[in-house]
Amino acid sequence: MPVLKFKTFEALDRLEREGKGINWNFRPDQTYFTKALHFRTKIPFPPGLYKFKTFEEAEIWEREWWIKSGAAKRGRQGKSGP
């Protein structure tokens, strides 16, 4: 979500009138939650804390985990690129 900056409140009102403003929902219903949960990012890593001495060691562990889990064949969820 981009950060919107305004110099005056009139500029904010103009954006709202054009229909490009911020859509706040203070009383969400079940449909809202269903749509919101559709966009959540799933990270399929097993739970826990992982410590590595180097960034390269972390990358190797991640690459091996994707191969072992078979997730690399199905496509990464929440990641982009190989």
Highest mean pLDDT among 13-17, 36-40, 57-61, 73-77 belongs to 57-61
Residue 36 reports pLDDT greater than 60: yes
Where helices occur in 18-77 by DSSP H, the ranges are: 30-38, 55-69, 71-74
Of the pLDDT bands very low, low, confident and very high (cuts 50, 70, 90), residue 65 is confident
Give yes or no for residue 1 having a pLDDT over 90. Answer: no
Residue 29: alpha-carbon gap to chain centroid: 22
Highest mean pLDDT among 6-15, 34-43, 47-56: 47-56
